[in-house]
Chain A
């Protein structure tokens, strides 16, 4: 556990949900890191593909993925430019501190 607490007030989550409705959507998250933000919306989404080029972060995200989300969230180590798109397009793309 990291001793520095990042946004324990959940201001980011509140702002994100005021701006976007994830309910039932197919989501592509770019720059997901260790999944810090992913856990805050994935329960509402139908399907989440979360990508990041950092293999260590993705491994951590996979380990920490809550059991209830494992059937709807998948993580990939890749950069956006190398990402092979699925046949069905996404409803929503989230640039997670990554542009």
Chain B
């Protein structure tokens, strides 16, 4: 990851901006919305326990520490997925988020909540995403 950031440093003009978007290490939550009420069901876990996001953060810290980039602004936002059923969500995750895991207890809670006779219901996945702006710096000491 540090090598990728070092290459980006060479691709940007002096003073150019680097925008990074990646999920935080907080697991994504899953709930079921039934009309206006949202029922928490559990979390999406990852096979590698979200460790790659820690590595990303560490790589960014390193290129800031060595003077290649300066951090200008950092924020987070909530990214939300909407699905009509657990099967639909599982199919989507299998394609788009291959190391995501929904454990049996969470799946059971989802199915129970979806048994509600209400028609206005859906699965809601909420993931906290980090967003940061860096600027190419040339203050690196050789």
Contacts and interface: CB of A to CB of B under 8 A. Distances in A.
A97 B21 contact: yes
Contact of A19 (B5, B73, B89): B73
Given A3-B84, A3-B88, A99-B4, A90 B21 contact: no
A15 B10 CA distance: 27
A97 B11 contact: no
A11 B78 contact: yes
B16 interface: yes
B108 interface: no
A72 to B, nearest CB: 18
A35 B1 CA distance: 22
B16 A95 contact: no
Interface residues on A, range: 20 to 34
A80 B17 CA distance: 17
Contacts of A4: 81-83, 88-89, 92
A94 B21 contact: yes
Contacts of A99: 1, 4-5, 20, 22, 56, 59-60
Contacts of A6: 79, 81
A67 interface: no
B131 interface: yes
B64 interface: no
Interface of B: 1, 3-5, 7-8, 10-13, 16-23, 56, 59-60, 73, 75, 77-84, 88-89, 92, 129, 131-133
19 contacts: A3-B83, A4-B92, A5-B81, A12-B21, A12-B79, A19-B19, A19-B75, A20-B133, A30-B8, A80-B8, A81-B3, A83-B11, A85-B11, A89-B13, A90-B11, A92-B17, A95-B8, A96-B21, A99-B59
